[in-house]
Structure 1
Amino acid sequence: LQDGIGQRQTIVRTLNATGEEIIQQSSKSDASILQEKLGSLNLRWQEVCKQLAERKKRLEEQKNILSEFQRDLNEFVLWLGEGDNITSIPLELGNEQQLKEKLEQVKLLVEELPLRQGILRQLNETGGTALVSAPISPEEQDKLENKLKQTNLQWIKVSRALPEKQGELEAHIKDLGHLEEQLNHLLLWLSPVRNQLEIYNQPNQTEPFDIKETEVAVQAKQPDVERILSKGQHLYKEKPATQPVKKKLEDLSSEWEAVNHLLQELRTKQPDLAPGLTTIGACRPPVFRSSRFESKQLTTHLLLWQLPAALMQSLLDQATRRAPPLPLGNPPVFRSGLSESKQLATQLLLRQPPGAPVVAPSPRAVLSRLLYNVPSQTVTLVTQPVVTKETAISKIEMPSSLLLEVPALADFNRAWTELTEWLSLLDRVIKSQRVMVGDLEDINEMIIKQKATLQDLEQRRPQLEELITAAQNLKNKTSNQEARTVITDRIERIQNQWDEVQEHLQNRRQQLNEMLKDSTQWLEAKEEAEQVLGQARAKLESWKEGPYTMDTVQKKITETKQLAKDLRQWQINVDVANDLALKLLRDYSADDTRKVHMITENINASWGNIHKRVSEREAALEETHRLLQQFPLDLEKFLAWLTEAETTANVLQDATYKERLLEDSKGVRELMKQWQDLQGEIEAHTDIYHNLDENGQKILRSLEGSDEAALLQRRLDNMNFKWSELRKKSLNIRSHLEASSDQWKRLHLSLQELLVWLQLKDDELSRQAPIGGDFPAVQKQNDVHRAFKRELKTKEPVIMSTLETVRIFLTEQPLEGLEKLYQEPRELPPEERAQNVTRLLRKQAEEVNTEWEKLNLHSADWQRKIDEALERLQELQEATDELDLKLRQAEVIKGSWQPVGDLLIDSLQDHLEKVKALRGEIAPLKENVSHVNDLARQLTTLGIQLSPYNLSTLEDLNTRWKLLQVAVEDRVRQLHEAHRDFGPASQHFLSSKFSIFIA
């Protein structure tokens, strides 16, 4: 075309020159006509040249725009590739330097994300124009279009992966810091332990030592050490550790091996101490995953399963030393020795934990030996000192010179020693006796025991008086001053000891009487508290959900406020019970207060739960009352607005459908502005509509079956119909206006934005997985997904409207119309320009429709999984709550058990029957436990990983069930054995009438 212009430029000049000559030679009229034609020709020629120049300029600009677009797009793709590479590079978890370097790189890219997002938005806008107007082939156009689409998808991936990578790197660096801190802590702990064990292990070590506590501490640290070493091995399995960390790991491993080796050698050197501890690993129960049980259970099992053998051996040695052959011919001495033997046997039986490894003779065997190994000859009683304040005098031996000089002192010393030993034993038994606070039967039994003991003491008083009289006579008869001093001293000591024991007995008796009184008051207060709890529960359970009319809601509010008032009045009953329980716990802490503690804890928990339910119900009813008051007003206001909006939409719709609207671009712009105002009002009222619809449905459900419900339903249906019609009219108006104006660029951008939005929502929905492991978590997921579905519902009209607009645009505009609408650029033939626009918009519309359907299917499937999980987790929660309640009830009974050694022999059979009854009552709990475990397994098969809380709850319930079974069986076994050995059927039955305090 430019060549043709150049060739014809000479012709135009020639025509002008020739024309001027002809004009000069022509008449005035002919010259005027020729001058006009020549001027018109020149004007047309100048216009053609101008259009050619402008077209050339536009073409160069379009080429520059396309070139700049491709350059910017390529640069953006390179940046995305850099970000993708950084996020996909495998991390060396043990290489702190590499992690910090990667973190700096990732931080720089994360800081660029806002800027890059703006660049991508500009690329999408520029690409929409360039892909249609640029003179490129359809193949190149498809290639650029796909590249732009892939860039948007890759942006979604990288913009999400970079912040996640930053968080991951920061977490790994923090873990490495914790690892080094734990290494330092363990090394600091191991160093003194090893040094101490090396001192014990030296050949010249002669001092006695005890490694039991060290062994227990080492065993407690073993999981920490193994975890740190395992973590270090995992972190540095591919790349060697840096020198400082590697050195610390090696030091920890060697120190740990050395400590265990030293402990093994020390066990070998001290076999008498070892057996009770060498089985720690074998006897220790599994460590529970739940931290709140680990410490308590581990401590309990260490105490029960790993009782140091040295303590048991010490008791047995003491029993052997204090149990010489008993002289049958000397009844007082025999009775005293028998009483002491029984006391020792009881101590041994009580100190033997169930299932503990026994490394010494059985206590029952010792008792049998004490009872039956009675020789026929009489042997002089050997005085065994008892380590107490009262009997320290027994360590003072009578000088042999005095015994030779005053032979009667031997008989006095023997009688004095016997009475002193008996008083010491009696005092020790008094101090060791414990009762169950709050158990009136147990307290009364102990009061009876105290009365019997006091009677025994009074029956011994003549013996004391005889001893004092004999001592005075002996003192008067002897002239030896040393003997007189010894006699005086011992008389004063035994008199003081007698007075102290008597005072202890009287104080304990008074304390028991006060305990009985306080426990009675507490039990009465407890009954009153439980009574008001029952009344409150009954009122709570009597509340039924009914129609939510103004009158019924007001009535429910009044009932709730009345119950809240009653609770405030009843609070004094609970406070009194708590105050009395606190007094019992404070004043009688030396006795067994488990029953009081557990019952008080249960009462307060129930009371707090009732308060919470009442407060929540009162708040909910107040909110419902406010809703019922405000809802009709809001509904009327919204319906009035709907009527006005309908009128505006009808006027706008009539104007939109006028003929020859296409030719009036100014009118189209004015109508578009009016539609935008209308659409803005609709969007501003969208949340109001949804709130009204949601609240109306709530009220409808509460009014189900009433006349008010039917009236409200009609009004809601009317509102929904008007709202739906208004939205449809607005969308139709938009479709016609956009089809009647130059909106193809905006359509293209709208489709592009919708595709990106759909991809983002699909990714957001995917990130909601997996299903949570407990009911609150899944309920939260359900709330999130409900909001997600509301967002989809809100977006649906926009998507449908856009697709409808594209359809109208593509079907109602002929090629001539497209050519007329898009007069520029004219580089491509009109048919090709129209085909480019049609193909691009149709392809994008199909993608939007496909992605929309796929997103809705994904959402429906996710909702189905959530609903199923909610149902199963609700069932699991109800089953665990029921099992926990039943276990608590059984544990309260178990907590009230007294040690078998403290029970009266006559009551053994009764206690045995009660325990057997409890065993029968808890037997059905096995089905509850199995049901809970089955529900947990079903959730696992559905792909639901239970939360740590649920796992710990399950483990807690299973553990408590097992411990309860073991405790009941052990209790039955202990009671059986005690009844067999000490009951009426036993060969060596010791009647309670002849207690250990017989004279």
Structure 2
Amino acid sequence: MKCIDLIVHYRQAQELRERTSPDQAAAIMEPLGEVNHRWDELLKGIVERQRNLEYALLKLGQFQHALKELLVWIERTTKTVSDLKPVFGDPQVIEVELAKLKVTINDIQAHQSSVDTLNDAGRQLIEADKGSEDASNTQQKLGELNKKWTELQDKANGKQSDLENALREAQIFSAEIQDLLLWLGDIDAALSSSKPVGGLPETAKEQLLRFMEIYDDLEENRSKVEGTLQQGQEYLKRSREGAATNLNHSLRTLKQRWESVMNRANDKKIKLEIALKEATEFHDALQIFVDWLTEAENLLNNQQPVSRVLDIILQQIEEHNNFKKDVTAHREVMLSLDKKGTHLKYFSQKQDVILIKNLLVSVQHRWEKVVSKAAERTRALDLGFKEAKDFHENWNELVTWLDDAETSLDDLAANVGNDPEKIKAQIAKHKEFQRALGAKQPSYDSTMKQGKGLQNKAPKTDEETLKQMLTDLKNKWNSVCQKSVDRQRKLEEALLFTGQFKDATQALLDWLKKVEMGLVDDGPVHGDLDTVMALVEQHKAFCAEMKNRSVQVDSVRRTADELLVKASAEDASIIQTQVTELVTSWERVERATDIRTKRLEEALQAAEQLHKVVHMLLDWLSDAEMKLRYAGPLPDSEDDTRKQIAEHEAFMAELNQKEREKDDTIALAEDILAKAHPDGVATIKHWITIIQSRWEEVMAWARQRETRLSDHLRSLRDLAGLLDELMRWLVQAENNLTVLEAEPLPDDIPAIEGLIADHKEFMDEMQKKEPDVLSICKPSKPRPSLSQPNKKRSRTSLG
């Protein structure tokens, strides 16, 4: 038992040595080496002592006793060998068992000499007592001894072979467990490295794919781990209870490590799958929102201009209201995207966070622009609707009134009668209608002006509709005015035909006095073309009325001549006075009409000239702006710069010539403005302002380009001079370096130090010239064109 204890202690010392540092292991093994040496010496002494004792017994004739003792030892040793139960899967326990077996085998080998001695002694006894019963018994006992000895050796060798095989198998199994534990440790370390998840679908997908390689590796090795655990359990079942504690501990450690790694792997897999799902959902939603933004931007950019036709603008408002509802519905989408993006920014990788942030900023900016443009469109539609509604209401009200008036005049025209009193009553009533018609004149003028203003603001698609509405209104107004005049004339003629010469003449005089007041010789008739054309149209209508009235005047004069023939002296004097006053007023009105006709012709000629020169000048200024604005970048060569300077000088010469035209145009406009009709003052002033501002802009741009071209040419010249200077310096420096390179280096230190100082001075000079070289060699960047002014010209620029 002491021997077995010593073996166990020795094994524990070896295990302790394996778990300690080399210095500590040496300290542990030093006494163990001494113990091992003394143990071997003790075994040799014991074996030698036993052999001597057995030999001494034989010499003393104690053969039977020695044989009996040896058989007893063989049985005891056989039992000891048989009691060595196999242990599976635990190398340490198997090594202990193998060490016990080796002690027994050494003991068996040590008894080999005893067996040989007994066999020799037995043979001698058999030879001495040959043929006797003792010889036969001796022969039988020797046979039993040799048989048991052989069995003992075979059993010991077999047990040793079994233990050695079990040890190899256990070592392989133990190494497999250690490999799995190391592999799981590496996997666990890889899983423990916590990195932010990918915020982009590509990044998150790549992370998941990289992780799935590890996860697939785990799944591929699952059967191996489970098989190892199952094999270990089988080893435990085949081993005696409590014999494989180390194996049990290793298996428990492997199982715990495996379950821990799989749990962490499953958690990380779920985390990465959720990250990929969130990133994909966010970017899919973002892409859908970006597509909607693009569609909304295209819709806003391609919308038709705000109409001034009521039916069309109502349809535009309805369409825009539907679009605003869509914008309002997408506000929640924008807030949701911002919330999801903010969540991703907190948990994603830095490079993904930057991209997500930029995407959100870009989308937010585009969203704000869409909202802003939608609001601008709403304001424009509200303003257009107000203007269109006001015009259409005024137009409808006036047209309705004119339709009713025209219907009333048509009804009255068929019933004049020949009763003087009734005719006078109709004349009085018609005067009330004329006053009502005159009261509608400001409304008509403002509606026509409002319509023309809408024509200038409205898109071209509305021009025909608005123009037709104004034409219809003008025709109805002229028709009612003409029918009113015809009604007045017919009533006065009817009054004259009924013998009411005095009343008819007085009515005609009243009309002449009224129109004479409107034909003031010094009244302003000049202005822009539209104003003058309106005045000409009014005067043409008046001339037509004068032509119709001339028939009535002739009729009055004929009636007066007839009455003078048969009238009394007193009545003849009154009739003559009335006729004279009528003729005198008529002639004054005719002269005033002719004067106004001539003045209107002059005003029309001046307005047409002004309209022509203003539009020609503004068209030229527009072309000049386009030339200056899209002149392109400044050239890189001196020849091209000179060519552009020559072209710009020609343009400046043309600009100087046009300046005289501009001054003449402004002088003509100011001359017309001094004698302009009030309706044309605002338009003429607007034209003067537009011409001056546009001219100043073009002049400023032209001077700016002239300055930039001159500066650029000067910089190119300086650059060319600098390039020549640098090339001369470089050629000289290259030649000097070539010459110096060919010369051998001196052997004395002062000379070498002098050369080093010279070369350092050369390097310093070269360093100073580096900025000039970089300024020449750097790639040229496209130079910006002339700055575009913020002013925008609309169709209202010309009035």
- Tell me if TM exceeds 0.5: no
State the TM-score, normalized to the length of structure 1: 0.31
Compare CA radii of gyration and give the structure with the larger one.
2
Greater helix content: 2
